[in-house]
Amino acid sequence: MKLLHPSSWKDYELIDSGDFEKLERFGKYTLIRPEPQAIWSRSLGEQEWKKLADAKFVREQKDNYRFSEDVKGGWSRPQGMPESWNVLYKYNDLNLTLRLALTNFGHVGIFPEQGNNWNFIYDTITGWNIAKPRVLNLFAYTGAASVVARTAGAEVIHCDASRPGINWANQNMQLNNLNDIRWVYEDAFKFVRREVKRGNTYNGIIMDPPPYGRGPEGEKWTLQEQLNELIEMSSKLLEKKNFFFILSMYAVGLSPIVGLNVAKTHFDTTDAEYGEFFLKSKQGKDLPMGTFLRFRK
């Protein structure tokens, strides 16, 4: 089991966390956002947080996971701060530009810990000597992983049940001077089921499923009830060689071994890498950011 943090970031840092909040810098701007796992006390004082922060999101409900779009709350920010801005992510020959924004449910458009997976995707695809590998990104959000895979030379299918998320991902694609990512506005579970029936295959599958969710037609998604079947179907979509699989989960309370055991049920995962992602804090109190499992052949 591994503990990994995204060391390639220059435009992101976790400054401090505690009292159910986190203080983060995204490029030019520093934000205060809710963090349900930060049950400890802050290292810096409240006045220092206020001095450093450009904006703060106040959540009315404190029991929602980060993926839930039904969180109520709002931002307090100075008039001069834009509602959106760009950050850069660099890793070897990968130069990624991503649009961030202050959304009405507290997200900003990226999950910084995923930088580890972006590196994995880029290294894997550029290391293959095959023409036009195909990659499927499920629960794909604003598309950072889709853009990385496309930059590396893959044909990318980006599937998400949020129309605003797909629009945002399209903006990220254009920011990086790319084209031809295929956008699929659909429930991921239904799409995978149909892809199996069609006999389609992929060289890479990426999934970052929420604990709970709804599809475009009200389809219900529950991680603990449906993940096993989703991964079983996904195993039928992967090529027999030159393939990779990535599963990320931000479901508080689930061990990394959960993802490993589900994958072992349907894949030959003797060389699987699994563990927890975390964000390294300047103050020494690192912040856990969910589990990961990945392998490639």
Give pLDDT tens digits for 182-226: 999 999 999 999 999 999 999 999 999 998 888 988 889 899 999
pLDDT over 60 at 62, yes or no? no
pLDDT over 50 at 66, yes or no? no
pLDDT over 50 at 33, yes or no? yes
99-123 pLDDT per residue, tens: 999 998 899 999 999 999 999 999 9
Amino acid at residue number 208: D
Residue whose C-alpha is closest to residue 25's, from 105, 112, 116, 114: 112
Residue with tokens 């039904």, as numbered in its chain = 70
Exposure class string for 171-196: b at 16+ Cβ within 10 A, else e? bbbeebeeeebebbbbbbbebbeebb
The most distant pair of C-alpha atoms in the chain lies apart, rounded to whole Å, by 59
Exposure class string for 129-139: b at 16+ Cβ within 10 A, else e? eeeebbbbbbb
The pLDDT value recorded for residue 61 is 57
Contact 117, 145 (CB under 8 A): yes
H or E element, residue 172: helix 163-175
Kindly state the average pLDDT of the residues 151-162: 97
Q: Reduce the DSSP state of residue 169 to 3 states and report it.
A: helix
Residue with tokens 């959540």, as numbered in its chain = 59
Q: For 40-44, 91-95, 250-254, which range has the lowest pLDDT when averaged over its residues?
A: 250-254
Within 13 Å, how many C-alpha atoms sit on residue 72's CB side?
Answer: 2
DSSP letter, residue 282: T
- Give the DSSP letter string of 107-162: --S--GGGHHHHHHHHHHHHH---SS-EEEEES-TT-HHHHHHHHTT-EEEEEES-
The pLDDT value recorded for residue 68 is 46
C-alpha 126/C-alpha 272 separation (Å) is: 20
The pLDDT value recorded for residue 64 is 45
The pLDDT value recorded for residue 67 is 40
Q: Dihedral of CA 148/154/159/163: which sign?
A: positive
pLDDT over 60 at 139, yes or no? yes
Kindly state the average pLDDT of the residues 149-161: 98
Amino acid at residue number 237: L
